[in-house]
Amino acid sequence: MPVKYLLFSLLAVFIWVGNTIVSKLAAGAIAPGTIAFERWFIAFIILTPMAARDGWRHRRTIATHLPKLIVLGALGMAACQGLGYYAAAFTSATNMAIMLSLVPLLTLILSALFLGDKPSSLAMLGGFISLFGIFVVLGQGDPGRLLSQGVGRGDAMMLVAVLAYAGYGILLRRWAIPLDTWTSIYVQIGAAIVLLLPSYLLAAPSAFTLPNVAMVLYAAIPGSILAPFVWMSAVRHLGAARTAIFMNLIPILTAIVAAIFLGEALHIYHLVGGGMTIAGIILVQRKAADRKPRAKAVTAK
């Protein structure tokens, strides 16, 4: 197993952990509509010299599949990432990371509903454990609390965001658009920019400060370009199932970093609920390891 690609997987994970921290830091400093738009706009500009020529060469294919590419951009870039910035104002970075770890489970559920993939008994057990772990976190140690108080606004937004990303992965598999990966991403980003433009124009002005610029650039370059590149490289050489295991580190590392740099309290219910969620996801991913995926989703957290 090439050590280089193991390091690539870890690098992508660390970048996504940093992206979650940046989302939390941006809350109150940069309007969510502003950072969501500027992130993808800068990424689009950077990718243009590399992807525009190939996009023009395949313009007929793009035109044929444009509605699908717009839907993918709406789910994977605009909805998932945009909602994350809004959610950061109402929930902790630790909770956001635990919610993100649900993507494999939600993908399993959507695959069963729309692709006819029958989950194994082991995967169903893992799903049940993960969901109970999420209830523990959302109920702050008392799952029954959800019945009386409901889900918090930020956590609800994150649940919608991860559901959008799971749907993104499912549609990538189902549609299998005949374009190079980067060309497809480039067009999807272009669609996301258009969809995010209204929220950008309506957003309250944000201060043009060095920390704010740094946060936007982090989200645009490492978060939107470097992480997907090293992750896709790792997937090609290690396999999707083996690489996906590294994503289980995201909630653990995020909780540690958030406690150190954001001063977030790490409660027992985070450890218990988060541990159950991760253990359940590992069981779900063991089912995925037995399959060869028909198409690979690009993770862009």
Would you write out the chain's pLDDT as a tens digit for each of its 301 residues? 578 888 998 899 999 999 999 999 999 899 999 999 999 999 999 999 999 999 999 999 999 999 999 999 999 999 988 999 999 999 889 889 888 878 877 887 888 888 777 777 787 788 788 778 877 877 777 766 665 566 788 889 999 999 998 899 889 888 889 999 899 999 999 999 999 999 999 998 888 899 999 999 999 999 999 999 998 888 777 776 667 777 778 888 888 899 888 888 778 888 888 788 788 877 776 655 555 444 444 555 5
The predicted model scores a pTM of 0.84
Tell me if 120 sits within 8 A of 62, measured CB to CB: no
Residue 82 CA: distances (Å) to CA of 23, 196, 267: 10, 8, 28
d(CA 155, CA 170): 23
Sequence spans of domains, the chain? 3-288
CA angle 85, 171, 89 (to 5 degrees): 10
